[in-house]
Amino acid sequence: MGIKLDGKKLAEKHREEINKFIQKKIHLGCEPPCMANILVGNDGGSVYYVNSQNKLCSKLGVKVKSIYLEENISEDELINIIQKLNNDKEVKGIILQLPLPKHLNEAVITSKICYEKDIDGLSSVSAGRFYKGEKGFVPCTPKGIIELIKSTNIDMQGKHAVIIGRSNIVGKPAAQLLLNENATVTICHSKTKNLKGICREADILVSAIGKPGFITEEYIKEGAIVIDVGTTMVDGKLKGDICFDEVIEKAAFVTPVPGGVGAMTTTMLIKNLCEELE
């Protein structure tokens, strides 16, 4: 029987640090930090994430401007909203919830977020700095993943890490962060052959495909660290990619959904906002 990696408990430690930082700033006469989150449409995972952000901001004393937009908004309209936020001196951080509706060009739109406010590292400038190893915002979900793995006290150096999913917001940056820790990284995707066999070789397995219950114990190496990034709403409940009850019998550590990566992602977002203010 493995150990549940409690993202909520780990996030609480980081939130205490954030709270101390914010209270210190307020004591010095500074305004509390302010961020803007933008939600286009009603994707279940994105709605859940925005609600989590708003609750945490309220708890930590962070001001938030939530902008809810219809799914059929035009690209020009959305870019205009982002540019207004870029010019809003009160707003120190901007996050655009992904995925966007299919008629919107994600690459074009995210590139309009100014680098100094891009707390989720979505823009081309942010991505370029990240992959070149220059100072900048680290994407929140991958940052949370690494913190969760570090909490096991298992050295990542030389470990074989397998990531299922090659998105720009999770898969690719998570791979880079694992490389930074000197792990050997394999990225799998929808065209990968022998996926199950590759996963069974993983000392660290990260699943970010959004297919509820896809990863069973047959995909798991004995004693592996398993990180579930999946967030899919099923009958009003949030479900992960991993069959938790099966996998925890074989793995050493497993993150639950909810209460795993999601809790860390929201916290890392606010931590990035505070780092921007330093």
| Known binding-site residue numbers for NADP(+) | 165-167, 231
Q: Under 8 Å CB-to-CB from 71, ≥6 apart: which residues?
A: 40, 41, 42, 101
C-alpha–C-alpha distance, residues 269 and 141, integer Å: 8
The closest of 95, 129, 132, 109 to 272, measured between CA atoms, is: 95
Quote the strand ranges of 138-254, DSSP E: 160-164, 184-188, 204-207, 225-228, 232-234, 237-239, 253-254
The conformation of residue 184, written as its DSSP 8-state character, comes to: E
C-alpha–C-alpha distance, residues 187 and 104, integer Å: 27
| Tokens at 40, concatenated | 């286009």
DSSP H helices in 88-201: 106-110, 124-131, 140-150, 171-180, 195-199
Asked if residue 258 has a cis previous peptide bond (ω within 30° of 0), the answer is: yes
The closest of 206, 212, 210, 219 to 247, measured between CA atoms, is: 219
Residue carrying structure tokens 């908004």:
73
